[in-house]
């Protein structure tokens, strides 16, 4: 999946990566600060219910995971670099990588083998399904509130 954006009069082809790593507020912040990442959306994916809400997802009324959809310029940052950021920030028990191409699947599988030596092999790797953008109050949460969560606990972080 890719889309086009304009950067200083030049068309830039963006790729998309989708990761679930526990709380999407924390994952959103981790990816937003990377050079080459243009947009990160908090949302839900991996389930079958249409248009899930935050309350449905966190109460396990749906099988969706909190996730982030990362739009990035592959000429500036690689998918492997995004995977490295994912492994640094994901909660292994709640993590999943949703690939959008065969290349992403192969890179994700290879990175999981390396990460498994440190954190185990619980992370699911599966084809991307519909990504539902979370409610507006969940977008850019860290930037607006100075808070992120790690393993579903909220922490106030100083910046």
Q: Mean pLDDT in runs of 10 for the chain (159 residues)? A: 54 91 83 94 93 90 93 97 93 89 96 76 90 77 56 40
Domain count for the chain, please give it. 1
Q: Can you give the pLDDT at residue 115?
A: 78
Tokens representing residue 135 in the block? 């409610």
Name the residue range of residue 122's domain: 2-156
Q: In a 3-state reduction of DSSP, which class is residue 63?
A: coil
Q: Can you give the pLDDT at residue 144?
A: 61
Radius of gyration of the CA atoms of the chain, in A: 15
Residues serving a catalytic function are 23
pTM (predicted TM-score): 0.81
User: How far is the C-alpha of 155 from the C-alpha of 15, rounded, in Å?
Assistant: 31
User: For the domain that residue 138 is a member of, what is the CATH number?
Assistant: 3.30.1060.10
Beta bridge partners of 45: 65
CB 94 within 8 A of CB 65: yes
Q: How far apart are the first and last CA of the chain?
A: 33
């Amino acid at each position: 999946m890719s889309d086009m954006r304009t950067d200083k009069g030049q068309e830039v082809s963006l790729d998309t990566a989708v990761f679930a790593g526990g709380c999407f507020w924390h994952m959103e912040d981790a990816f937003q600060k990377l050079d080459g990442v243009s947009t990160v959306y908090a949302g839900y994916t991996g389930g079958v219910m249409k248009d899930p809400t935050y309350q449905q997802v966190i109460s396990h009324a749906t099988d969706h995971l909190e996730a982030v959809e990362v739009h990035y310029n592959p000429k500036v940052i690689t998918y492997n670099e995004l995977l490295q950021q994912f492994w640094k920030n994901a909660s292994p028990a709640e993590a999943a990588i949703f690939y959008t191409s065969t290349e992403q699947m192969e890179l994700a599988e290879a990175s999981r083998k390396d990460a498994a030596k440190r954190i185990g092999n619980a992370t699911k790797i599966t084809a991307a399904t519909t990504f539902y953008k979370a409610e507006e109050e969940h977008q850019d949460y860290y930037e607006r509130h100075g808070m992120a969560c790690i393993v579903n606990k909220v922490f106030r972080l100083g910046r």
